[in-house]
Amino acid sequence: MGERMRLDKLMALMGEGTRSEARALIRAGRVLVDGKPAADPAAQIDAGAADVRLDGRALCYRPTRHVMLNKPAGVLTAARDRSQRTVMDLLPPLYAAMGCMPAGRLDKDTEGLLILTSDGQLAHRLISPRHEVGKVYEARVDGLLAVADVEAFAAGLHIDDADGAFDARAAALTIVSSSPGESVARVRVTEGRYHQVKRMFAARGVSVTHLKRLSIGALSLDPALASGQWRELTDEEVALLKREAP
């Protein structure tokens, strides 16, 4: 026997609208459960085993959900906020109902790859420094980057600023372009302290003007996703993430 829940709730978690919309579909006689017309929205259904069909179309219940979002700047990485838009506002209500939450955070002005998942253990493993899952960012800074900066990142930086002091782990800095006015670089870190990438560059005397996360472990941001767009991860991508943080 699998997880049991009300039929209207199950249909909502299958992506068929709100619970009230699901109740309307059930009462209209459009829903079959195990080949029989469903009449009671409150009927307890085995979520994993029942054959639920809407207008003859089989519905699929997935107990966990994993989403890739191309986070835009100006959006908070939070479940909810009274005054500002959050990443959860970019997804259909289904995902909040399923318990999807961001696996880690991106600053409000930082763009790029964000994973949201209802698998709390996976989220913890992805963000825990103990698992050393690498995150790659592309940074645009307002000054010159040189070999000395690459070496400093590789050695690990001591950060001591208004937000506190800590020793940043060794990070891989790759300079894409460099000039006195502006440089572009990619940096791979394995921890995610508050404003870490920005603070590491600040410790080298330059300020980040634009920051975008490109990858988490071996999973890269889908180039087909425009800013603010999302899609569910494939089974292969989920397996890839789990291998990164066993």
Q: Which residues are catalytic?
A: 107
Beta pairing, strands 31-33 & 4-6: unpaired
Give the Cα separation of 106 and 155 in Å (integer): 25
Among 75, 77, 79, 66, smallest CA distance to 116 is for: 66
Beta pairing, strands 111-117 & 208-216: parallel
The CB-based long-range contact list for 103-107 (8 Å cut-off, 24+ gap) reads 103/127, 104/77, 104/192, 105/77, 105/192, 106/71, 106/77, 106/213, 107/77, 107/195, 107/198, 107/211
